[in-house]
């Protein structure tokens, strides 16, 4: 137990002795350091089968998954490569097409549909991560699909212009070497709320800052955050990391959301 009642990485309890909970507790991210070992097609099909079993609002499964094996294509799409890449898209085109065949109109053209579809998509991808780990396959979830010129995804993968949007890429493979440590996680005040939402006290906020500063807990992205004079890890995070891509004007993501029909165009 650390100051403020916060836990960095909760230990397995007696209830966590079944195989599923042990798999979840063993999850870790491999940051691009995958071996050349191939994942059999049958294993990928099992992962996909598990992925589409995830909960889905109104049973719509408002997503599509593109499987990419070519290493160079993987790197172009998301900046990383593994044995296999699964690209997850929020996608309503299937629902629109089937509605049209039956003479119905369906236009998911607002942010509520976007949030609902995104939630369905993220549930599916996290289920794929757990399924893969249960089979001894490691993973990397990355928003690299949003970096660089996003138009490349439409060009490379033939995506529909409307009501289809890339959300996240899942790189699958086997670790070339075991990571030196597993990332910690906060699990206490500010994360878990009992009964009602409760804002952090100053003391609890200070306790969180101290935990991020404790390199033995491995909570952050950068173990050398203090090398450039930052007093706290979260100083580095907000000044150097969050601010690294700050740019004025409308972002590329917002522009693509407008083209995809989820955000109204001014004057419409």
- For residue 60, being part of any structural domain is answered with yes
| The pLDDT value given to residue 8 | 43
Look at residue 9 and tell me whether its pLDDT is greater than 50.
Answer: no
In eight-state DSSP terms, residue 165 is: E
- Is residue 35 domain-shared with residue 108, that is, in the same domain? yes
Least Cα distance to 153 among 262, 252, 265 occurs for 252
Between 1 and 33, whose confidence is greater? 33
- Is residue 75 domain-shared with residue 135, that is, in the same domain? yes
- Is residue 77 domain-shared with residue 32, that is, in the same domain? yes
| Average model confidence (pLDDT) across the chain | 90
| The pLDDT value given to residue 2 | 36
- Is residue 34 domain-shared with residue 122, that is, in the same domain? yes
- For residue 59, being part of any structural domain is answered with yes
What is the domain count for the chain? 2
The DSSP bridge partners found for residue 170 are 86, 141
- Is residue 196 domain-shared with residue 234, that is, in the same domain? yes
Enumerate residues 6+ apart whose C-beta is below 8 A from 130: 20, 23, 24, 27, 50
In terms of DSSP bridges, do strands 138-142 and 164-173 run parallel, antiparallel, or are they unpaired? antiparallel
- Is residue 63 domain-shared with residue 168, that is, in the same domain? yes
For tokens 């409307």, the residue is 162
Look at residue 199 and tell me whether its pLDDT is greater than 70.
Answer: yes
CA angle 160, 161, 165 (to 5 degrees): 80
**Domain range spanning residue 36?**
18-179
- Is residue 60 domain-shared with residue 89, that is, in the same domain? yes
Among residues 179, 201, 225, the one where a domain terminates is: 179
Percentage of residues in the chain with pLDDT exceeding 70? 90
CATH number, domain with residue 23: 3.40.109.10
- Is residue 79 domain-shared with residue 210, that is, in the same domain? no
For tokens 């996240």, the residue is 168
- Is residue 134 domain-shared with residue 217, that is, in the same domain? no
Of 1-5, 79-83, 102-106, 138-142, minimum mean pLDDT range: 1-5
Look at residue 171 and tell me whether its pLDDT is greater than 50.
Answer: yes
The DSSP bridge partners found for residue 142 are 169
| The pLDDT value given to residue 6 | 45
- For residue 1, being part of any structural domain is answered with no
pLDDT digits (tens, 9 = 90+) for 221-241: 989 999 989 999 999 999 888
């Amino acid at each position: 137990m650390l100051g403020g009642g916060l836990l960095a990485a909760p230990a397995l309890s007696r209830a966590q002795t079944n195989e599923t909970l042990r798999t979840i507790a063993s999850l870790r991210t491999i940051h691009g350091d995958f071996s050349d070992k191939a994942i059999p097609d049958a294993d990928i099909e099992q992962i996909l089968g598990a992925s589409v079993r995830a909960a889905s609002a109104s049973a719509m499964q408002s997503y599509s998954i593109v499987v990419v094996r070519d290493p160079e294509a993987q790197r172009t799409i998301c900046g990383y490569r593994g044995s296999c890449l699964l690209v997850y898209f929020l996608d309503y085109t299937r629902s629109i097409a089937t509605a049209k065949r039956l003479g119905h109109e369906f236009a998911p053209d607002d942010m509520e549909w976007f949030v609902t579809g995104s939630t369905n998509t993220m549930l599916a991808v996290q289920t794929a991560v757990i399924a893969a780990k249960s089979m001894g396959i490691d993973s990397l979830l990355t928003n690299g699909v949003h970096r660089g010129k996003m138009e490349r995804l439409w060009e490379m993968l033939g995506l529909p212009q409307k009501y289809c949007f890339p959300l996240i890429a899942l790189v699958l493979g086997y670790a070339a070497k075991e990571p030196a440590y597993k990332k910690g996680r906060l699990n206490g005040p500010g994360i878990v709320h009992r009964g009602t939402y409760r804002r952090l006290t100053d003391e609890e906020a200070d306790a969180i800052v101290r935990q991020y500063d404790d390199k033995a807990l491995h909570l952050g992205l950068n173990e050398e955050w203090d090398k450039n004079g930052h007093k706290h890890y979260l100083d580095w995070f907000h000044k150097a990391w969050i601010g690294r891509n700050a740019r004025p004007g409308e972002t590329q993501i917002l522009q693509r959301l407008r083209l995809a029909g989820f955000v109204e165009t001014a004057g419409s």
